[in-house]
Chains A and B, each alone.
Chain A
């Protein structure tokens, strides 16, 4: 689905991201963890052609992201609050994205009905601009919009941050349902190891711009990752089954 080829991003000769090769398969829920400044958002920005790589390229569904705009048709993304439009109401924003994604009103309602629980009655039908919503609710709007039009790839940067525990739990379920029903490929970053190990089928740890661990989820993944971040590094390599 997504192939990363010798991708390097450097600012003033300081390399912030260096991934020689990485392939993300269709239907995978790809989790990205790493310390602040490890390069998670940089990687997502490169996948979305928001910044130019210093070297290498990204191929998404046989389309070179750096060369063609056609990947936009099957990619949804939410990076931060700047991905919403502050002076629209949530309903207007959904309507705007739905038009861009060529959904009709019925499609839109059907899509948003899946989020009724997640929205907790605070998003739809409210005459309130998105800029006046709380940070968490702004995030909910952005996430729901990113999954509109059944995109094949959805990129979410820290979707769990700023959400209350109940909403975090509901979001996990929403992501799982989406992959189960539509085979959507997810790329998710998070600092919350519980959430990421629960929802992801494969987890990659970035450290100083490089992939230091790449493991499928098993019963012991959470412990392994926790050990990595607390610095207790085991001598033995990971068992990959």
Chain B
């Protein structure tokens, strides 16, 4: 029984649409995984040196212990955002002759196979050998290592339980955030020294490995919480969540915004009412604060290149993150749209106008950065023009090669469903294009000339828009049947 369940799990992974289907995605994911693994490995070798330099007189292991909770706090936060619940495979199992507790155990066990549960070892193993084993006996080192492994698993199961708990409550995430931040505050202002306490527990293990027994408690506790939750909630509604009545927002006023209003209102409802586009959209709002991060004067003025990067990312992030999948957002009912009484041109134009409107609003929202440096006004204006005139057309150009249907219901965080080579490739010209143009033309024309060139290119694009729309309409009509077929088959 267990064997067949495991083989189902294996097939679910290897045959899932995200895996193996797109070479580009697999390669990018592989690189990303490798990148993080190497970073962690490097940290693992660097940390002992850093500790030795900064705390030459202290016991390095104790110093490391005192920072452990910081690591686990970040771990928990990142897991919250990126780890998904192991529920997808649940539905067909429910009606089979398998006991509930076996399904629950299977789901929990399966959830362990996650990149986040392998990544820490790249950091942990070098530290264990170079830092702990150098100062303690083998038995003590082993106990310390096992203690941390137990904590990693506890963090994993706590994440899953919290996610289930939040799924049930609309405002669960905010409660979690409040608790998290207040614990952080308590720690930061030294009201309760949580990191210190956590660290001294590991000091205790070093002093007497018998203390390891205590580390089992959070792990067993979190496993039991999950197990209990699953046993009482192992029903269809764990996988299928129905919308609550009260959350339906009315967007009908948008339909009155002229010829394109009806489609723009459809786009807006699509974004707001589906998890994936909504998380993408909310991320672009977070990006508006990117300027606070990079517009920093480190003595001799902010390098002008930063304004290009910042303006580009803040103004056009909405179009980039939604545009890279255009028109696959409508893949579920694309065939229906194609039988309806409207022209392809309207479909393209309404997406265009929505993006123009959003980019303009984002542009206005970034103007307060002028308080930091007045030059930002010019740079952002040029980037707005360039984005509308050039990047939007690149999005349409790449969009006609769209291949995979999108599943709108899952979160957009690290979600590679529907990603193909085109979706990866499009980000290069969109982001690198204007930067290269600026850097190269600056050599010849100077900063002002380069800025004028970017804005000018944008203006040319905007003026050519009617012709470009004619071309895109023809191109999309040519691709129509292939799009319908590909969306149906993916």
Residues of B within 8 A of A89 (CB): 248
B333 and A84: CB pair below 8 A?
yes
Query: Closest approach, in angstroms, between the C-beta of B238 and any C-beta of chain A?
Result: 16
Q: Is B481 an interface residue (CB 8 A)?
A: yes
Q: Is B336 an interface residue (CB 8 A)?
A: yes
Query: Closest approach, in angstroms, between the C-beta of A102 and any C-beta of chain B?
Result: 8
Residue of B whose beta carbon sits closest to that of A129: B243
Given contacts A72-B340, A99-B262, contact A85 B333 (CB under 8 A): yes
Given contacts A87-B273, A100-B262, contact A50 B338 (CB under 8 A): yes
Cβ proximity bits A81-120 to B, threshold 8 Å, 1 near / 0 not:
0111111110010011101111000000000000000000
Query: Closest approach, in angstroms, between the C-beta of B422 and any C-beta of chain A?
Result: 22
Interface residues of B in 399-428 (CB under 8 A from A): 408
Residues of A within 8 A of B340 (CB): 72, 97, 100
Given contacts A50-B484, A89-B248, A95-B255, contact A100 B341 (CB under 8 A): yes
B341 and A101: CB pair below 8 A?
yes
Q: Is B285 an interface residue (CB 8 A)?
A: no
Cβ proximity bits B324-344 to A, threshold 8 Å, 1 near / 0 not:
000000001101101111111
Considering the chains assembled together, what is the distance between the CA atoms of A50 and B335 in angstroms?
A: 7
Considering the chains assembled together, what is the distance between the CA atoms of A88 and B343 in angstroms?
A: 21
Cβ proximity bits A122-144 to B, threshold 8 Å, 1 near / 0 not:
00000111001000000000000
Query: Closest approach, in angstroms, between the C-beta of B336 and any C-beta of chain A?
Result: 4
Given contacts A52-B481, A129-B243, contact A77 B339 (CB under 8 A): yes
Q: Is B167 an interface residue (CB 8 A)?
A: no
B: number of interface residues (CB 8 Å): 30
Query: Closest approach, in angstroms, between the C-beta of B406 and any C-beta of chain A?
Result: 12
| Chain B interface main SS type | helix
Residues of A within 8 A of B255 (CB): 95, 99
A51 and B484: CB pair below 8 A?
yes
Considering the chains assembled together, what is the distance between the CA atoms of A99 and B262 in angstroms?
A: 7
Q: Which of A48, A50, A100, A127 has a CB less than 8 Å from the CB of B248?
A: A127
Residues of B within 8 A of A49 (CB): 338-339, 480-481
Query: Closest approach, in angstroms, between the C-beta of A144 and any C-beta of chain B?
Result: 14
Cβ proximity bits A52-89 to B, threshold 8 Å, 1 near / 0 not:
10000000000000000100110101010011111111
Considering the chains assembled together, what is the distance between the CA atoms of A15 and B439 in angstroms?
A: 57
Considering the chains assembled together, what is the distance between the CA atoms of A89 and B249 in angstroms?
A: 10
Q: Is A149 an interface residue (CB 8 A)?
A: yes
B273 and A149: CB pair below 8 A?
no
Residues of B within 8 A of A132 (CB): 242-243
Q: Which of B266, B342, B344, B477 has a CB less than 8 Å from the CB of A85?
A: B266
Residues of B within 8 A of A97 (CB): 340
Considering the chains assembled together, what is the distance between the CA atoms of A27 and B392 in angstroms?
A: 46
Q: Is B105 an interface residue (CB 8 A)?
A: no
Q: Which of A52, A75, A96, A127 has a CB less than 8 Å from the CB of B339?
A: A75
Considering the chains assembled together, what is the distance between the CA atoms of A95 and B336 in angstroms?
A: 15
Query: Closest approach, in angstroms, between the C-beta of A186 and any C-beta of chain B?
Result: 16
Residue of B whose beta carbon sits closest to that of A89: B248
Considering the chains assembled together, what is the distance between the CA atoms of A48 and B480 in angstroms?
A: 12
Considering the chains assembled together, what is the distance between the CA atoms of A61 and B343 in angstroms?
A: 19
Given contacts A51-B485, A128-B243, contact A79 B335 (CB under 8 A): yes
Interface residues of B in 230-263 (CB under 8 A from A): 242-243, 245-246, 248, 252, 255, 262
Residues of A within 8 A of B274 (CB): 87
A82 and B336: CB pair below 8 A?
yes
Residues of B within 8 A of A79 (CB): 335-336
A92 and B252: CB pair below 8 A?
yes
Query: Closest approach, in angstroms, between the C-beta of B334 and any C-beta of chain A?
Result: 8
Given contacts A79-B335, A85-B266, A87-B270, contact A72 B341 (CB under 8 A): yes
Query: Closest approach, in angstroms, between the C-beta of A147 and any C-beta of chain B?
Result: 13
Query: Closest approach, in angstroms, between the C-beta of A94 and any C-beta of chain B?
Result: 12
Q: Is B269 an interface residue (CB 8 A)?
A: yes
Considering the chains assembled together, what is the distance between the CA atoms of A82 and B335 in angstroms?
A: 8
Query: Closest approach, in angstroms, between the C-beta of A12 and any C-beta of chain B?
Result: 14
Query: Closest approach, in angstroms, between the C-beta of B480 and any C-beta of chain A?
Result: 8
Residues of B within 8 A of A75 (CB): 339
Cβ proximity bits B147-176 to A, threshold 8 Å, 1 near / 0 not:
000000000000000000000000000000
**Shortest beta-carbon contacts, A-B, top 8:** A83-B336, A87-B273, A127-B245, A99-B262, A72-B341, A52-B481, A100-B341, A132-B242
12 additional contacts, CB 8 Å, given A82-B333, A92-B269, A99-B255? A50-B484, A51-B485, A79-B335, A84-B333, A84-B336, A87-B273, A87-B274, A88-B269, A96-B262, A100-B262, A102-B341, A127-B245
23 A-B pairs with C-beta separation under 8 A: A49-B480, A50-B335, A50-B338, A50-B339, A51-B484, A69-B343, A72-B340, A73-B341, A79-B335, A82-B336, A83-B336, A84-B333, A87-B269, A87-B270, A87-B273, A88-B266, A89-B248, A92-B252, A92-B269, A96-B266, A99-B262, A101-B341, A132-B242
